Amino acid sequence: MAQGSQQFIGRVKRVAAEFGRVLATPEEARAILGLK
């Protein structure tokens, strides 16, 4: 289990890379979700 958000994001990033994906930046995520 991840001890904090930084550790969790690191795990997500590694899994995404295994599938040939990249994480959205905070700005990209806001645009995707239609947030300011």
* pTM greater than 0.75 (yes/no): no
Domain boundaries, the chain: 1-36
Q: Measuring CA to CA, how many Å separate 25 from each of 1, 12, 28, 29?
A: 24, 13, 5, 6
Q: Give residue 21's identity as a one-letter amino acid code.
A: R
The whole-number pLDDT of residue 30 equals 96
Q: Which two tokens stand for residue 10?
A: 């690191």
Alpha-carbon span 7 to 5, nearest angstrom: 5
pLDDT digits (tens, 9 = 90+) for 1-36: 668 899 999 999 999 999 999 999 999 999 999 998
Please tell me the chain's helix, strand, coil percentages from 3-state DSSP, rounded to the nearest 5: 60, 0, 40
The whole-number pLDDT of residue 3 equals 84
The whole-number pLDDT of residue 2 equals 67
What does DSSP assign to residue 24? P
